[in-house]
Homo-oligomer: A and B are copies of this chain.
Amino acid sequence: MLRLYDYLESGNGYKVRLLLAQLGIPFERVELDITRGESRTDDFLARNPNGRIPTLELEDGSHLAESNAIQWYLAEGTPLLPDDRLLRAQVLQWMFFEQYSHEPYVAVVRFWAHQGLLDEKGGEVEERRRRGHEALAVMERHLGDHDFLVGGAYSIADIALYAYTHVADEGGFDLRPYPALRAWLDRVATQPGHIPITRG
């Protein structure tokens, strides 16, 4: 059985949990408290030298890291990853956008809020909120005339961006200025087999 090293609050972990649920693939979940260094032990660094969750352990004992690479591996050959060469590259475009232009802002401010670090981080919070809103505006512009991010159908690109966008309010992001984005959040949340981020 697949084994997922995970942390329940993590949107990156949630991407993989949600996808596995929607694909109907059973897995064992191992919760690591990343705030207590449980992803930096010698045992875990042997599984992922970069010391991050999610990390997927395959049935042959090998490991795969990076939430969006894991998603790609699992979704191959399913309706959640299109076959067309350009559409596949567009899925990757949005997943790289998520990790470079969205997650470091929208997810990190939420993490700081959960950890009670907003005061300590000072002006960095507002700078990251500004960059986060830039990313949300890029999504709003695209979703204004697209039901889903790529090819008119729900895919792992939607899962990748949904994971932290739907809980952006926990980092103080007001989503009211983004009506197309909010309608897309609703469409994603009503896909068959959807589970909430709180479900382990």
Known: A85-B73, A104-B104. A97 touches B138 (CB 8 A): no
How many identical subunits does the complex contain? 2
- By DSSP majority rule, is chain A's interface helix, strand, loop, or mixed? helix
Give 1 or 0 for each of A61-105: 1 = CB within 8 Å of chain B CB.
Answer: 010111111101100100000000110111011011101110110
Q: Which range contains the number of A residues in contact with the other chain?
A: 20 to 34
Find chain B residues with CB under 8 A from A92 CB.
Answer: 66, 68-69, 72, 92
**Cα distance, A69 to B89, chains bound together (Å):** 5
Find chain B residues with CB under 8 A from A99 CB.
Answer: 96, 99-100
Show the binding face of A for B, using Cβ within 8 Å: 49-50, 58, 62, 64-70, 72-73, 76, 85-86, 88-90, 92-93, 95-97, 99-101, 103-104, 138, 141-142
